Chain A
Amino acid sequence: MNLRTLLAATAAAGAALALAGAANASQTVATPTAQASVTLVTPASLTVPHGLAFGTIALPSTTGTNTVSMASDSAATQATIGGTGSAFIVNSSGAGAAHFVLTATSGEHFTLASSLSAMSSGSNSLANAKALDPVVASGASNSSGTYTLTANKADIYVGGQFDVSDTTAVGTYTGTLTLTVTYD
């Protein structure tokens, strides 16, 4: 219920009280009416259909460092490898950027931020692990980093990256990728 409606309802209630006073005096009955309105909005929520997965990467066999990246892209199905080392992709089954689904009311404005905790395997951690900037694939327009929902749902993708070398320990590394949506 917006401000204008509330004020109108208050005025109507005041009129009703006045009429009731008159009814006591003249023994007549009045039945006042007032408009009621409500605006329904979509409850805001953020769900995660799938996480960030890099697949299986073979470490460099000689000196040199590689940066393993997964783009913030819905179409990214395998990591890219840059740098001077000889790392390569062994298996990309299930690999892809993290997918978040923001459900809210069309027209709302928001900004996005992402972070990646340390990716660790036992006592080992990956060097320079970080999240990449989020990318909205659908459902919102972007104006200098401030997004506006153009639907009641937006698909957001977040990738990440880390460095490996020939001294990186083998193993399965896991971490936590966090997306924060802040409403203006």
Chain B
Amino acid sequence: MAHPHLSAALFAISLAGTPSPTQLNSSAAASVTLTTSGGIAVITPLVLPSVQVSPGSSDTSFTTETPAAGTGSGSVSSNARLTVVRDNGEAVSVDVPQSFDVIRTGGGETLTVNTVTTGDLASNGDAMLVGGSAASVDIGGKLALASANHLVPGPYSGLLVVVVQYN
């Protein structure tokens, strides 16, 4: 026969040993990015690769992100990538120039870069944006280089101006 006091003690031990905690808490991050209702964000600039032109070689060219033969080692090129923010259904046109000039730093020599535009643009060529509220436009560069042109080595830079019109 169990002693009354012993039974009470065992019951108390059993309660103390209950494995589940009374309360569990855990926290998670909450985040949101707020932006203006219209605008253009430059995600990446247009970066042309370093190019080596060997004497006597034929024309060397590259297009968009992947440099073609004749580029220097270690250079990283990229398309210009723009994100255009607009309300859903808002008509927006994007005007990208066919070409633009880059000028040698410290000199006056110029090279002409032809643009290659892809992304969320209407297929009929009217430069109207398609896609959602954040349309993406990629602009690549293309130019032909030849050793016969007596190119002056050095860094070249220029300004690519893209006009986005909210109609």
* A47-B26, A172-B31, A179-B26 as given contacts; A7 in contact with B2, CB under 8 Å: yes
A59 neighbours in B (Cβ, 8 Å): 34-37
A181 to B20, CA, bound (A): 11
- Write the B37-74 contact mask toward A (1 if CB under 8 angstroms, else 0): 11000000000000000000000000000000000000
* A2-B14, A91-B134, A176-B30 as given contacts; A46 in contact with B25, CB under 8 Å: yes
Report the nearest A residue to B1, measured CB to CB. A11
B133 neighbours in A (Cβ, 8 Å): 58, 88-91
Tell me whether B2 and A52 are in contact (CB under 8 A): no
Which DSSP category, helix, strand, loop or mixed, fits chain A's interface? strand
Of A16-24, A27-35, A137-145, A161-169, the one touching chain B: A161-169
Of B5-13, B97-105, B118-126, B137-145, the one touching chain A: B5-13
Return A59 CB to nearest CB of chain B, in Å.
6
Tell me whether B87 and A86 are in contact (CB under 8 A): yes
Tell me whether A41 and B19 are in contact (CB under 8 A): yes
A126 to B27, CA, bound (A): 19
| A132-168 interface with B by 8 A CB criterion | 158, 160, 162, 164, 168
Report the nearest B residue to A166, measured CB to CB. B37
Say which residue of B2, B29, B31, B34 sits within 8 Å of A164 (CB atoms): B34
Tell me whether A54 and B35 are in contact (CB under 8 A): no
User: What are the 10 A-B residue pairs with the smallest beta carbon separation, nearest first?
Assistant: A54-B32, A51-B29, A51-B28, A46-B26, A61-B37, A52-B30, A98-B28, A181-B24, A175-B30, A56-B33
